Amino acid sequence: MKLGIDAYSFHRYFGELYAGLETAPDRGMTVWDFIDLSCDLGAEAVSLESCFLPVGDRELTTALAARLDRAGLDRVWAWGHPRGLQSGAAPQALDDARASLADAAAVGARVMRICAGGRGTRPALWADHKAALLPLLDPLVREAKAAGVVLAVENHIDLLAEEMVDLIETIGSDHLGVCLDTANNLRMYENPKAVIRRLAPYAKATHIKDIEARGGDPATMAFWPSVPAGRGVIDLDFALRELKAQGYTGVLAVEIDWLSPGYGTEAEAVAESLSYLRGVMGRL
């Protein structure tokens, strides 16, 4: 397993803010700045968020591939923020996913994380949700296989663990798995250990995330902010042991969404997370 960083950890620097929770930094960040910082922090891999990059820019993806190769960084391509396929209600989003798949292949990513939806798009009934997603995911998985890329559906506060498994097993392709976010399903009131144990066998990518309960309305992001790995309520030792036991050899991508006040800058939180995870890996 390789320690990495998801670019979403620095979303404020790429121009995205959580309304009412975050303020803009004094200066922004480019993808090149992110790669340089990842190298400085000793990461072995990066997850590049397509939402912060132009679509279909072959000059850019060629340059990115060359830069990552020179740095010796493994890479995951991430598509679908914030709501991806909108739980099946946005068939037009499939065109954007296809374009991003071509970018993933061009940058040399073997895995592309995708979002099927988000907190605000989840239908009331799983049967309806599944029926809406399958016609979109089936052709995308076939195209991913042709491109030599594995798709990893994130548990993006839209899918319960058993729904994730049902979706993956129904499609039944070795080019479709899970991007296991270690914290998101706690935000859906599922036991995080049970979710990690259930989804680890299907993991093709990860978001290694720790969170705390800050108070307020548990249906909102403000209740469950990110904290540096090892500071919150997610048992990341357990998560990494489960992933290793299932033969996972991919990227352990640190992700910070809304960073809880009092933990410094995003760069400091990511650096602390990497240090903590190195210690965990040394004990495996």
pLDDT band at 187 (very low <50, low <70, confident <90, very high): very high
Q: In the predicted model, what is the mean pLDDT of residues 63-67?
A: 98
Q: In the predicted model, what is the mean pLDDT of residues 247-270?
A: 98
Using one digit for the tens of pLDDT, what is the confidence trace for 232-248?
999 999 999 999 999 99
pLDDT band at 256 (very low <50, low <70, confident <90, very high): very high
Q: How many CB atoms lie within 10 A of CB 174?
A: 9
pLDDT band at 27 (very low <50, low <70, confident <90, very high): very high
pLDDT band at 88 (very low <50, low <70, confident <90, very high): very high
3-state secondary structure 190-209: CCHHHHHHHHHHHEEEEEEC
pTM of structure: 0.98
CA dihedral 265, 270, 273, 277 (to 10 degrees): -170
Say if residues 112 and 79 touch (Cβ distance below 8 Å).
yes
pLDDT band at 157 (very low <50, low <70, confident <90, very high): very high
pLDDT band at 108 (very low <50, low <70, confident <90, very high): very high
So what's the pLDDT on residue 235? Answer: 98
Chain-wide mean pLDDT for the chain? 98
Domains belonging to the chain, first-starting first, are 2-283 (3.20.20.150)
Q: In the predicted model, what is the mean pLDDT of residues 150-159?
A: 98
So what's the pLDDT on residue 109? Answer: 98
